[in-house]
Amino acid sequence: MNEMSQPRPRKIPTLQSLSASQQAAIRAIPAHDAAQKVTCGATRPTGDFTTPERFLAEKAKIFRHFPVAVAPSGQLPEPNSVLAHNGYGVPLLLTRDKGGVVRAFLNVCRHKGSLLVESCETAKMGRVSCPYHAWTFGLNGDLVGVPRQELFEGLDKSTHGLVRLPAREAGGIIWVKLDKTADDDFSHVTDELVSDLDALGFPSAYVYGKRTFPIQANWKLVLEPFLEGYHVQRLHAQSIGQLFADVPSVHSRLGLHMRQISGKAQFEPTMLDVPGENIHKTVTHAYLLFPNTVIVTSPYYISLMIVMPVSERESVVDYYMLTQSAPDNPKAEELYSKSYQIIQGVFGNEDFRAAAISQTGLESGAIDELTYCGLEIAIPEFYKSLESLL
Ligand code: FES
Ligand SMILES: [Fe+2]
């Protein structure tokens, strides 16, 4: 958990505090008894989840080219701070300089290649010094100090700065391209997505808790439950199932990203007209930030999950619980800490577990394809986007 920051007055998020596009989507949710029956006949080959060839193609063509979410801004909130990150199998060093600008580098010393920062905890520092021979770099990547520099023949410090990766902070997320030769085009992070995330309060959100889950499942199997409502009444029957109805969500594409909005159980549109009502009590937003990041809203917090592929059968999820501000009274602390326990149980023991047992079943070779229904139609849409890039 981060240090407590200055308490900020809490605002109730209402329908009116959301973006115009979110409000329009919410207004389009039908009353549950008026929801349409949607059918779907899509399938996926089992090999997409089990073969190393497919996995390597996804890594090369998608994870190396696209801006991926690395962390919420709240994980690196203070000027003059750094955050090392290894989840993507690439040693990253994120920095926030004294002016607040975020940059990304490879966490590798230009002298002889040592890792610069070993711990993946956020740390306050104005420059980074290599543990090996103490070459020192500014947070803008410049090499600023070399002990006994007179012993290097013709060393040009200006060409020995840190290796930079394209990075952008937008919508309260730090996005990075993991390839040092990638261009600086971040148009994938669309304005519409950013205005949604801004309206949800991402840029100023506080990281109440972070937990890393290693999961024995292909990264796409970990994402699937967050793209469908079919499992909610079944897999979550003993936990959150009764909070939701068994009807399709309203889903919209924001570029390659996806937004799904669903009304809570017994939803009907007149509920939206209660003035001052916390909108997250009435509807749930679930986003897929293409390709691999999920957001789910709850009344008092937001879950952010970054699903990072390790191999065709292993993934790592960084789960973040984001709140509007640090808890500044015992009631808020109790609410957040209880929610943190509950949500880790639901996602960890139910959704992530479902992904792992599906991986085991698919690897047995028993079935050649997976089959999807009308409550899962965002999944084939996601695969359409993925296939268009492979
Ligand atoms: S490897 Fe970093 S200073 Fe030598
Ligand atoms: Fe779920």
Residue 246 located in a structural domain: yes
Q: Which of 152, 176, 200 is the last residue of a domain?
A: 176
Say which ligand is closest to the CA of 160: 1
pLDDT, tens digit (0-9, with 9 covering 90-100), for 229-249: 999 999 999 999 999 889 888
Same domain, 209 and 354: yes
Hey, whose CA ends up nearest to atom 3 of ligand 1? Answer: 133
Residue 181 located in a structural domain: no
316 lines ligand 1 (CB under 6 A): no
Say which ligand is closest to the CA of 355: 2
Hey, whose CA ends up nearest to atom 4 of ligand 1? Answer: 133
- Rounded Cα distance between 146 and 155, Å, is 10
pLDDT, tens digit (0-9, with 9 covering 90-100), for 76-130: 999 999 999 999 999 999 999 999 999 999 999 999 999 999 999 999 999 999 9
111 lines ligand 1 (CB under 6 A): yes
Same domain, 160 and 276: no
The pTM of the full predicted model, rounded to 2 decimals, is 0.95
pLDDT, tens digit (0-9, with 9 covering 90-100), for 181-235: 999 999 999 999 999 999 999 999 999 999 999 999 999 999 999 999 999 999 9
Q: How confident is the model at residue 1, as a pLDDT?
A: 42
Say which ligand is closest to the CA of 146: 1
Same domain, 245 and 349: yes
54 lines ligand 1 (CB under 6 A): no
For residue 90, the CA-to-ligand 1 centroid distance in Å is 19
Q: How confident is the model at residue 9, as a pLDDT?
A: 62
Residue 283 located in a structural domain: yes
23 lines ligand 1 (CB under 6 A): no
Residue 10 located in a structural domain: no
Q: How confident is the model at residue 156, as a pLDDT?
A: 97
Same domain, 122 and 248: no
pLDDT band of 34, cuts 50, 70, 90: confident
Same domain, 375 and 247: yes
Q: How confident is the model at residue 36, as a pLDDT?
A: 85
pLDDT value at 168 more than 70: yes
128 lines ligand 1 (CB under 6 A): no
Strands 206-215 and 314-323: antiparallel
27 lines ligand 1 (CB under 6 A): no
Tell me the residue range of the domain where 86 lies.
75-176
Residue 70 located in a structural domain: no
For residue 94, the CA-to-ligand 2 centroid distance in Å is 31
Mean pLDDT of the region 272-281: 92
Task: Write the burial class of residue 273 (CB in 10 Å: 0-12 exposed, 13-18 middle, 19+ buried).
Answer: exposed
Residue 183 located in a structural domain: no
